[in-house]
Amino acid sequence: MDEKKLKALDTLHIPVWLAKDIAWLLVYKPLGIAMILPAVAIALHICVKTVFNKFLFYQNLAVLFWISANSTWMAGEFFHFAYKLPAALLFAAGIISILWHYVIEFNSNDELLTKPGFVRYFNKRKI
């Protein structure tokens, strides 16, 4: 996936996620529940598209786990089911994913790591 398409997906993902969280805050169940599927689906799609770029993949995987945990928590509050353990496990998986990203980045000798921001992630060659 090229940089423009990935950035467009990421840009689309943010308002969907925010709509879900605003609905949660306002306890507007129909919108909150309706936004779970697109928020998780976009995060999953971004993960699939970045699976071969280790610097991007683990960050995106952490976001996927985070949104899944957040959605579990919201649904648990809306429908009064035990959500703490599943949400905690998903949050922990997200923390492990982002920590693994930092381990890979720290151990990399790639000259791209000295460049700022997305420049190093969207280089044309596979990292």
AA letter at 50: T
Q: What angle do CA 101, 87, 7 make, to 5 degrees?
A: 45
State how far the Cα of 104 lies from the Cα of 24, in Å rounded to an integer.
35
For residue range 111-123, what is the model confidence (pLDDT) as tens digits? 655 554 555 555 5
pLDDT of residue 119: 54
State how far the Cα of 84 lies from the Cα of 69, in Å rounded to an integer.
9
pLDDT of residue 100: 93
Match 């949400």 to its residue by tokens.
87
Q: What tokens were used for 50?
A: 């970045």
For residue range 11-59, what is the model confidence (pLDDT) as tens digits? 888 999 999 999 999 999 999 999 999 999 999 999 999 999 888 899 9
pTM, 2 dp: 0.82
Residue 109 has pLDDT above 70, yes or no: no
**Which comes out higher in pLDDT, residue 113 or 7?**
7
